[in-house]
Structure 1
Amino acid sequence: MPSGSVALSARPEIIGGPPPGAATLEARDACAWFGDRLVLEGVDLVMPKGKVTALIGPSGCGKSTFLRLLNRMHELIPGAALDGEILLDGNDIYAVGTRAQQVRMRIGMVFQKPNPFPAMSIRENVLAGLKLARLKCDDKDTLVEQSLLRAGLWKEVRDRLDSPGGALSGGQQQRLCIARSLAVYPNVLLMDEPCSALDPTSTRRVEETIDELRGEVTVVIVTHNMQQAHRVSDLCAFFLAEENQPGFVVEQGDTLEMFSSPRDPRTLDYVEGRFG
């Protein structure tokens, strides 16, 4: 286990929370619409348990839309619709009777722009997910410490947990958002370009956090940074939307193989920077 990480078996008991540990996420023939416009078509993708899967491709190819399908954020957009299946360890997250809040507790999300609750303290930010989901924890202090440790932020903030979360630097705010997501011990963590607004030092720290989460949480990350995809991911999926056509997956597989010897020439052109 990497230095500074926390064993899931040592977590405080969270009453009503998901069982700890990573889970396999799978999309089967996933399609998405905005109104009558098909924006994503026929995506079949397995995101294996405990692995880091990177979604790469040029802007407008449906990567972020696909990410939002994975925890039902897509259905919050007026006029949005979808088809196909999204399975978490074989269970359809869109099944009748499955509440979106339950899904989002098991499949957390970190956005492109850090979005801590600025007036809340660092401690309150970490615990916000439990409060929203009406979960109970038998040891909140330990949960706060463990969540901040797993997000790589504990050493920087342990002496000022009651300070406002909005007073942190941008990189620290992003790691606070990661800690907030991790506090409910999700099975999957979705990350939508989490480093796009960060400086190189903050980016490195977020990447270190992703590496430490490997095995404990399934991570799916959207990134436009090919070097980052190469550094942090085990698997890659290359999305593309050709002119006036919906986005689709051109190729998927082991990251090292996709970057060194992709099967499709379009993948090679993209990872070598010839377009996008």
Structure 2
Amino acid sequence: MSDPTDTLVDEILDPTRRINAVRPGRGAAQSDPATLEADSISAWFGDHKVLEHVSLTMPARKVTALIGPSGCGKSTFLRILNRMHELVGSASLAGRVLLDGEDIYDRGRRITHARRQIGMVFQKPNPFPAMSIYDNVTAGLKLGGIKAGRDDRDALVEECLTKAGLWKEVRDRLRQPGGALSGGQQQRLCIARSLAVRPRVLLMDEPCSALDPTSTRRIEETIHELSEEVTIVIVTHNMQQAARVSDQCAFFLAEQGTPGAIVEHGPTGAMFDSPQDPRTTDYVNGRFG
């Protein structure tokens, strides 16, 4: 797998983006939250099949949590949702990923178009360490060759840092390196950087796994605050976190060497309080995994 920081350049590099799409209050149609739908997704690494016939609707303005033990394909599935899976030379897949009904894997659709609309926050915070906090947020504009006036960039930085719950903590030190922030602050900086290019969906791969409880709580608050503005899909091994932040859950499982698949999905309350499958009951109650 390539380094997430290197991948960031691929995700945000698209010179066709224009400033009216990033100014606060403009380009609303492009940044409305979208419904994301996986339709019978199967995936392989070489001859090894890791997912089989996974179908799931992730509604707009909702938080969907992907839960399940390690090795069941959750992170692979997440990376398929914004075409990162194909960065692995041996990777292949079948099925469709629909963004408001349009398949992001259709021939002729640019990979940068999908990644611009479907952002990613990785498990390990990956700000550009020597770049300032301010420049980290605007990195998407610079790498995409987008011309933006100083007032526009200033407004964008404040807006995105505010949405990520970081503005009040860093507004007096925007020119300091992003790498000097704490781990929790770096993760929120990465969220702000993702928001700056106006994604319609935000994917989060265990964003709190390396953070302390205080930072985890702040990230969870940020997820709640963002859910009306962007569709969120989060992978988490923390059942309490899934219960706190999500509107619906999908339970993945790979049994006895079989590919990962969804055992059950539905509203979070029902998944935790009255699951239909005994395997779900066992997992959410900590009997395995």
Q: TM-score range by the shorter chain?
A: over 0.9
1:101/1:133 contact within 8 Å kept = no
What is the aligned counterpart of 2:95 among 63, 84, 87? Answer: 84
Over 3 Å counting, the alpha-carbon distance change for 1:186 and 1:9 in structure 2 is closer
Q: Is the 8 A contact 1:106 1:188 kept in 2?
A: yes
Q: 1:142 to 1:12 in 2, by over 3 A?
A: farther
Tell whether the 8 Å contact from 2:132 to 2:176 is kept in structure 1 after alignment: yes
AA of the residue aligned to 1:161 = L
> After the TM superposition, which of the residue ranges 224-233 and 122-131 deviates more from structure 2?
122-131
Equivalent pair of 1:12/1:137 in contact (CA under 8 Å): no
Measure, in 2, the Cα distance between the counterparts of 1:123 and 1:51: 29
Letter of the structure 2 residue corresponding to residue 48 of structure 1 = P
Q: Could you tell me which residue of structure 2 aligns to residue 146 of structure 1?
A: 159
Counterpart selection for 1:23 from 34, 40, 45? 34
Question: Could you tell me which of 46, 54, 57 is aligned with 2:68?
Answer: 57
Aligned to 1:213: 226
- Letter of the aligned partner of 1:198 in structure 2? L
Structure 1: which 5+ residue stretches go unaligned?
1-7
Is 1:226 the counterpart of 2:239 in the alignment? Answer: yes
Separation in 2, partners of 1:259, 1:136: 48
Deviation per CA, 1:135-188: give whole Å up to 9, x if none: 344501000000000000000000000000000000000000000000111000
Counterpart-to-counterpart distance in 1, 2:38 and 2:244: 24
Q: Deviations over 1:64-100 (max 9, x none)?
A: 0000000000000111001000000001001111111
Unaligned runs of 5+ in 2: 1-20
For 1:5, the equivalent position in structure 2 comes to none
Map 1:90-239 onto structure 2 (within 5 A).
90-138=101-149, 139-239=152-252
2:85 maps to: 74
2:259 paired residue among 246, 258, 268: 246
Q: Cα–Cα, structure 1 residues 178 and 219, in superposed 2: closer, same or farther, change >3 Å?
A: same
State the distance in 1 between where 2:115 and 2:141 align. 12
Equivalent residue of 2:281, what SS?
helix
Deviation string 1:28-55 (CA, Å, 9 cap, x unpaired) is 0001100011100100100000100000
CA distance in 1, matches of 2:207, 2:121: 7
* Contact 1:18-1:106 within 8 A present in 2 as well: no
Alpha-carbon offset, residue 13 of structure 1: 4.4
**Are positions 1:255 and 2:268 aligned together?**
yes
Q: Deviations over 1:196-229 (max 9, x none)?
A: 0000000000000000011210000000000000
CA distance in 1: counterparts of 2:114 and 2:79, whole angstroms: 12
Are the aligned partners of 2:39 and 2:56 in contact in 1 as well (CA < 8 Å)? yes
Alpha-carbon distance in 2 for matches of 1:228, 1:240: 19
Letter of the 2:24 partner, please give it.
Answer: R
Q: 1:24 is aligned with what amino acid? A: T
CA RMSD of aligned residues (A): 1.6
Q: Is the 8 A contact 1:50 1:217 kept in 2?
A: yes
**Conserved? CA contact 2:23–2:156, under 8 Å:** no
Residues 12 and 142, structure 1, Cα contact 8 Å, conserved in 2:
no
Q: Give, as a single letter, the amino acid of the residue that structure 2 aligns with 1:183.
A: A
Alignment match of 1:32 (pick from 21, 38, 43)? 43
Instruction: Quote the offset at 1:12 in angstroms.
Output: 5.3
Q: Where do 4+ consecutive residues of structure 1 move more than 6 Å?
A: none
Q: Are 2:22 and 2:197, in contact at CA under 8 Å, matched by a contact in 1?
A: no
Structure 1 residue identity aligned to 2:232: V
* 8 Å contact kept, 2:239–2:284: yes
Partner of 1:4: none
Deviation at 1:132, TM superposition (A): 2.6
User: Distance between the aligned counterparts of 1:74 and 1:35, measured in 2?
Assistant: 12
TM-score (norm 2): 0.90
C-alpha displacement at 1:20, in angstroms? 1.7
SS of the aligned residue for 2:159 comes to: helix
